[in-house]
Amino acid sequence: MSRAPRSAQARRSWGQDDSATPILHVDMDAFFASVELRERPELVGRPVIVGGRDGRGVVSAASYEARACGVASAMSMAEAARRCPQAVVLPVRHGLYSQVSQQIMTILGEVTPVMEKVSVDEAFLDVRGSRRRMGSPVRIASWIREQVRDRTGVTASVGVASTKFVAKLASSHAKPDGLLLIPAQSTRDFLDLLPVEALWGVGARSAERLARWGITDVRALAATDVRRLERILGPAAGRHLHDLAHGIDPRPVSPGREEKSVGTESTFYSTLTDREHARRILLDQTHQCAARLRTGGMRCRVVVLKVRGADFTTVTRSRTMSVPTDLARDIWQAVEALWQALPTPSGGIRLLGVRLEGLARADDGVQLLLDEDPRRGAPERAADAVRQRWGRGAVTPASLLGHSRRDR
């Protein structure tokens, strides 16, 4: 959603009353790129892309200067190079980002145990129980930003609101390096200024359907009868967007979510229809997840594929493996089989993700197959060591080299 359209009018003061806004969304600013710029300050101010080199793979992160050229995460590196040929391309270093992420999450954990880690660079916090000790939500948000900057050398943007959805929208509009409070009584006024594409799940196809009915902003969406929205977008989508347009989001902050799984997903503002491009993204995500398992000393038993269509209908498929693994080669067999069994959603793909569940410690003594060769994981573990020293671009999975002509 951070790449979805924003409203310049929405980034302003909405008042100082944070008495009914206990939800914080903390989101690092261009996290991978920011960490790299911390390590290489001479590149500050220049467009920087973190991803595969020599036009291979996909963009993992881009500095704001590169984003101004139209570069976005999950874009093919070849397309990014065409849009921003002057950019400095750096390899991904997941080990380094994980270290900084752990520092950030430690800071957030000092605020409250009611924290939901969404990814390595963002989290929701419910600070109701921290007010007596640390002050108001805005004061807590300011403390978080200061501590993150001082202890890690990177910046965070924070949204403060009454619900998770609005807090995430607020942090998006606070970027970069900002804080935005949306008082509870100002929620509808804030939402009314936004284009419909700013809402979770509204892609190009849904926006086109709404535009045919003259619905281009959240104000018009909120004024539309829910039954009409159901006819336009379908029952589930219509009710979902009607609730969001009115600021309704009953989901609580759920601590411990990240400990149960390892995953990554990419949201595309422009829907994706090229299945081979989608396959490469899934393969890259598989290698990312497997590397994170090995870094954390974990193995997984369940592989989950997540695909969201242009109408934001989300399909998940899972496969349970007979033996826990931390190897991308094993995980990819399951991901690829699940992907091949799914047709491309009508209107294209809005989101792709891989998630690994059923986690267990690698040293817990899991049962191995009788004919399993313990050396079969040696290549991936050796590649981990090479990447940790020389960067992710030093070793590239051979399967990611097979690009279509369009990506060359």
Q: Is 177 annotated as a binding residue?
A: no
User: Are 131 and 157 contacting, i.e. CB atoms less than 8 angstroms apart?
Assistant: no
When the pLDDT of each residue in the chain is averaged and rounded to a whole number, the result is 86
Q: What is the pTM assigned to this prediction?
A: 0.68
Q: What φ, ψ does residue 318 adopt, rounded to 5°? A: -135, 160
**366: which 2 tokens?**
């899991």
β-partners of residue 25 are 124, 159
Residue 314 pLDDT grade (very low, low, confident, very high; cuts 50, 70, 90): confident
CA-CA distance, 200 to 240, in Å (whole number)? 9
Report the C-alpha dihedral over residues 195, 197, 200, 204, rounded to 10 degrees: 160
Q: Which of 202, 156, 192, 247 is nearest to 9 (CA)?
A: 192
Residue-wise pLDDT tens digits, 164-202: 999 999 999 999 999 999 999 999 999 999 999 898 778
Catalytic residue among 65, 79, 116, 122: 122
Residues 6+ apart with CB under 8 A from 310: 203, 204, 205, 206, 271, 345, 346, 347, 348, 349, 350
SS (H, E, C) 205-231: HHHHHHHHCCCCEHHHHHHCCHHHHHH
The Cα-based distances of 363 to 35, 227, 262, 366 in angstroms read: 31, 54, 18, 8
Say what the pLDDT of residue 404 is: 39
Q: What is the secondary structure of 258-272 as a DSSP string? A: GGG-EEEEEEEEEEE
Model confidence at 380: pLDDT above 80:
no
The dihedrals phi and psi of 186, each to the nearest 5 degrees, come to -105, 5
Do 383 and 395 form a contact (C-beta atoms < 8 A)? Answer: yes
Find out if CATH 1.10.150.20 is the number for domain 194-246: yes
For residue 160, give the 3-state DSSP assignment.
strand
Task: Please list the residue range(s) of the chain that carry CATH number 1.10.150.20.
Answer: 194-246
Euclidean distance between CA atoms 171 and 191, whole angstroms: 13
Residue partners of 256: CB distance under 8 A and separation at least 6: none
Q: What is the pLDDT of residue 367?
A: 42
Average pLDDT over residues 26-51: 96
Residues of the chain with CATH 3.40.1170.60: 32-93
Average pLDDT (54-62) is: 79
Give me the mean pLDDT over the 73-90 stretch. Answer: 91
Question: Which H/E stretch holds residue 325?
Answer: strand 314-325
Angle at 313 between CA 309 and CA 316, to 5 degrees: 90
The mean pLDDT value for 71-92 works out to 91
Q: Secondary structure of the chain: what % helix, strand, coil (to 5)?
A: 45, 20, 35
Confirm whether 116 is a catalytic residue.
Answer: no
121 is in an annotated binding site: yes
Residues 258-279: b if buried by 16+ CB within 10 A, e if exposed: beeebbbbbbbeebbebeebbb
Measured CA to CA in angstroms, residue 305 lies from 34, 136, 301 at distances of 29, 40, 14
Whether 304 shows a pLDDT value over 60: the answer reads: yes
Give the domain 261-364+373-389 fold.
Dna Ligase; domain 1 (3.30.1490)
User: Angle at CA 262, nearest 5°, toward 259 and 265?
Assistant: 130
- Tokens 């826990």: give the residue: 324
CA-nearest of 400, 397, 290, 352 to 57 is 400
pLDDT category, 255, cuts 50, 70, 90?
confident
Q: Where in the chain is the domain with CATH 3.30.1490.100?
A: 261-364+373-389
Does residue 165 sit in helix, strand or coil?
Answer: helix
Residues 30 and 176: beta-carbon distance below 8 Å? yes
Instruction: Tell me if residue 54 falls in helix, strand or coil.
Output: coil
> H-helix or E-strand containing 156?
strand 156-161
User: What's the CA gap between 229 and 365, in Å, rounded?
Assistant: 53
The domain defined by 32-93 folds into: MutS, DNA mismatch repair protein, domain I (3.40.1170)
Cβ(263)–Cβ(352) under 8 Å?
A: no
Give the pLDDT of residue 119: 85
